[in-house]
Amino acid sequence: MPIALPIAALKPLLDRIGNAPLDSSTLDSTPIAADFSTNAPFGSDVLTLNLRGGVQLSLFNSLDDKDADGLLVTKGNDAGAFGSGTPTLELTNDAAWLKYRYEAGLKASVDSSLATLGFTLAAEANASAILTDYRRHGHAQLAQEAVLEDLESGPRLAALLPHVEQLDVHDAVAIQLAGALKLAVTVSWADVFTSHLGTLTALLKSDAPIGIKVKTGASVTVTVAVADDFIVAFARNAADEWQIGVKKAAVRSIGAALHAGLDVQLSNAADVDAVIQPVLDAMFAATTDRILALLNKATLADLNDVERRLALLLMRRLGLDPLFAKLEDLKARIEEVKENVRAKVEEALKTKVALSFAYEYQRTSTASELLQATVSRQRLQTLHADCIRGNFGPALDAIRSKTPGIGLVQYLNEKSIERKASWGFTLGVGKWLKIGGTDTRDIKSVTRGNIDPRLRQESYLGFRGYKGLWVGETFEWGGDLKADMPGFSEDPRAADFVYGIHLLWKQTHDRLSDDDVDIFLDAAVLWGAISQAEAARRRTELIASKGKACTATVQLMVEDKEKKQTLRALLSALGSAPGMASALAAAMPWLSHSGVGRTQVAIRRNAYAPLFQKYLDQPEMTPSELAQTANRLFAHGDFEDLGVLELHFAGSLPFTFAGLAQLNSDTPARAAGFRLALERLRAGIESGARSQATLKPVFHDLSAFWEQSHHVRAAGAYLVEAARSAAVLDDVERTATFTVGDETLIVG
């Protein structure tokens, strides 16, 4: 029977393969190439694939064999921090696979183009693709017989639906293309505002805080197009089940940096409409009816006392001087905010998704699928055309709407489409929190190859999450050192990276108490999300939820962006920043019966800073000696009761200076290490030191400090004051969120 490919020299090819059984140790996975005598066109009415050059064969008959495309792998293969989902094909020891690799040109029908056909992958004229065909055989089958059988049946090409439908169980086909892959991301509005509240507060032109209330479940879906090289694969699992997957190719041929190759577009304008009014209420700190009453008056003289107080408040919030501003000025500023608020909300949304998607994408190994789903024959028939064109939006829509015949395996390292707890730099912090206890202080990188084999791109897995005790209650916290290379380098240096630090503090309560509210507000003040005065104003509002289940978080994020190098500016000004003793003092726990000495951050900082400085200078001092020192410092002053409490530190360990020293005897060493790590990062960037030599010790010492609850609180306090010294505090995101039932308050 003739073969379906124009192989120029078939017999020499078969001779090179040999005729041993497929499980023979004399056969290995080294590719064997055979040239074509002419091109081989295959296709449909609208698309032609012109196979050219030849075919490359590889045999996989051992669990040690490695598939360069990462589609045929052993179960549980190492594919990064979160595993690799389900392999496209599982390499087992009870069978062998022959892989056929082709290069092809793609061409639309005469009266069309690839772009017109909806291709976002390989959309340009003269586009090319790499096609692979994996065929399972029995171990005992002779190699030449198996190859002839495959060649006689003809190539199976992923771009052609009938070929995919005709796959045998445990076979697969794939197509590798360069271009823009379209995906969809759903995030909650609360998480958008938590990460990028500063985009909105910039409209105020003042330092006034805002508090946005949104429905806890309110979400928004956007389309993300990312430019790269991708492999789209189809495997048959059972008679009526196929697996669809898309992953990054092993090397990248597109030259642009990732952030330049990301495009985020809103899917439904109504999603934004739903939050505009809550945002405006927060911006003006007043409801619409009260604002309208002002706008209907001609001059300030026409206002009653209540309206006048509101007008003066609004003038200060909107950056006007109440001594000189007129009502017309206030009206103009209100209209300016209204006209620009929608654009700012969309900017916050797109920035959040773009940065977080890039963060997740760069940390997804090329051995892991970006998206994996199982489909029935009917669903395969409806989705295949979109998938090979690079548009996975319809597949994600079908999963989201629970359409029969499709099931999600994984999406961006998670088991759901909607992103929950999209905090900091991530699209979903949950998976990062889970690896915190197992991956300690060793930072790992995800490395991406380039079409130029000399070049590589590194991104570091720098998030660690923790759970532990603070003032007798269980809290969660996390720290993240983001280090991403936008481009590629032959020898990555510390200066080639974009950096960021994110800290998270989370408390969860089944029945909220007065103290729980105060501890939350204290953390918000400590990390600069709100002022002490704003905390006092918010307390009454939050206490109204007493007795209810509540989740509260405080977050701090300082990062370098394209136009603002915030973290680098902070690092450059470390010499003028307050010392670690001040941060450790401020981070002492809130204590209800101690008066302002322990309930107000600034006073606590001033009261305990001399004690922590002494401890840092003399780390050999015992807790008892530190308690005596504290008692002498506070004796006969406003905080004499705190001095007495120190003498009894053994009975209240987490609430006292000496008690914290006993619980965390390595505080001096870890605090010095934290400060030195920041300095080492600065020096590494400025000197052009090698990336790994810089980042590994930096992360080791940063994470060693934020492993412990008191220390991570101090880390946030230190970064706030360091940013203030560097005059970049306005560019540091600091937010507090408070969720009860179906309502979330975001303050910052």
Domains held by the chain: number: 2
Is the separation of the CB atoms in 309 and 319 below 8 Å?
A: no
Interval 149-207: pLDDT, tens: 999 999 999 999 999 999 999 999 999 988 888 888 889 999 999 989 989 999 999 88
Which residues have C-beta within 8 Å of that of residue 458, sequence separation ≥ 6? 445, 446, 447, 448, 483, 485, 492, 497, 691
Measured between alpha carbons, how far is 345 from 550 in angstroms, rounded to an integer? 26
Which residues have C-beta within 8 Å of that of residue 558, sequence separation ≥ 6? 500, 501, 566, 567, 570, 719, 723, 728, 731, 732, 733
Measured between alpha carbons, how far is 183 from 223 in angstroms, rounded to an integer? 6
Q: Which residue, chain included where needed, has tokens 């006073």?
A: 603
Residue 437, pLDDT score? 46
Exposure of 655 in the CB half-sphere (CA atoms within 13 A) = 24
Q: CA triplet 494, 495, 499: central angle to 5 degrees?
A: 80
In a domain, 641, yes or no: yes
**The two three-digit tokens of residue 206, written as one number:** 């003042």
8-state DSSP, 199: H
Is the separation of the CB atoms in 503 and 705 below 8 Å?
A: no
The torsion defined by the Cα of 185, 186, 190 and 195, in degrees rounded to 10, comes to -10
In a domain, 100, yes or no: yes
**The two three-digit tokens of residue 519, written as one number:** 């501890």
| pLDDT over threshold 50, residue 715 | yes
Q: Which residue, chain included where needed, has tokens 């029908």?
A: 109
Residue 249 banded pLDDT, cuts 50, 70, 90? confident
Interval 564-621: pLDDT, tens: 899 999 999 999 999 999 999 999 999 988 888 999 999 999 999 999 999 999 999 9
Residue 292, pLDDT score? 85
- Residue 708 in 3-state DSSP? coil
- 622 vs 429, more confident: 622
Residue 44, pLDDT score? 78
Q: Whose CA is closest to 583, among 477, 716, 680, 730?
A: 716
In a domain, 567, yes or no: yes
Is the separation of the CB atoms in 513 and 592 below 8 Å?
A: no
In a domain, 283, yes or no: no
Range of the domain at 53: 10-181+228-255
- Residue 192 in 3-state DSSP? helix
Q: Select from 237, 255, 273 the last residue of a domain.
A: 255
| pLDDT over threshold 90, residue 685 | yes
Query: How many CB atoms within 10 Å of residue 737?
Result: 27
| pLDDT over threshold 60, residue 84 | no
In a domain, 509, yes or no: yes
Measured between alpha carbons, how far is 372 from 85 in angstroms, rounded to an integer? 8
**Range 224-230 average pLDDT:** 89
| pLDDT over threshold 90, residue 746 | yes
In a domain, 187, yes or no: no
Residue 434, pLDDT score? 52
Measured between alpha carbons, how far is 668 from 580 in angstroms, rounded to an integer? 9
Residue 433, pLDDT score? 53
In DSSP terms, which residues pair with 100 in a beta bridge?
A: 57, 133
Is the separation of the CB atoms in 645 and 611 below 8 Å?
A: no
Interval 413-462: pLDDT, tens: 777 777 667 778 887 655 555 544 444 577 778 888 888 889 899 998 88
Residue 258, pLDDT score? 59
**Range 42-62 average pLDDT:** 90
Q: What is the CA radius of gyration of the chain?
A: 31
**The two three-digit tokens of residue 41, written as one number:** 């066109």
Exposed/middle/buried for residue 579 (C-beta within 10 Å: 0-12, 13-18, 19+):
middle
Measured between alpha carbons, how far is 597 from 642 in angstroms, rounded to an integer? 8
Q: Sign (positive/negative) of CA torsion 359, 361, 367, 372?
A: positive
Measured between alpha carbons, how far is 500 from 510 in angstroms, rounded to an integer? 33
Residue 438, pLDDT score? 44
Is the separation of the CB atoms in 118 and 133 below 8 Å?
A: no
| Highest-scoring range by mean pLDDT, 301-305, 337-341, 416-420 | 337-341
Beta strands in 451-575 (DSSP E): 456-461, 463-470, 473-484, 498-509, 550-559
In DSSP terms, which residues pair with 375 in a beta bridge?
A: 242, 406
Q: Select from 213, 238, 255 the last residue of a domain.
A: 255
Q: Give pTM, 2 decimals.
A: 0.88
Q: Whose CA is closest to 105, among 58, 42, 155, 36?
A: 42
Residue 649, pLDDT score? 92
In a domain, 198, yes or no: no
**The two three-digit tokens of residue 654, written as one number:** 């987490």
| pLDDT over threshold 80, residue 1 | no
Specify the range with the lowest mean pLDDT, choosing from 110-124, 385-399, 622-636, 702-716: 110-124
**Range 466-477 average pLDDT:** 86
| pLDDT over threshold 50, residue 261 | yes
What's the mean pLDDT when you consider all of the chain? 90
Residue 223, pLDDT score? 92
Exposed/middle/buried for residue 653 (C-beta within 10 Å: 0-12, 13-18, 19+):
middle
In a domain, 654, yes or no: yes
Q: Select from 214, 238, 255 the last residue of a domain.
A: 255
Residue 228, pLDDT score? 87
Which residues have C-beta within 8 Å of that of residue 533, sequence separation ≥ 6? none
Percent of the chain with pLDDT over 70: 94
**The two three-digit tokens of residue 109, written as one number:** 């029908």
Interval 514-565: pLDDT, tens: 999 999 999 999 999 999 999 999 999 999 999 999 999 999 999 998 778 9
Is the separation of the CB atoms in 592 and 515 below 8 Å?
A: yes
Exposed/middle/buried for residue 128 (C-beta within 10 Å: 0-12, 13-18, 19+):
middle
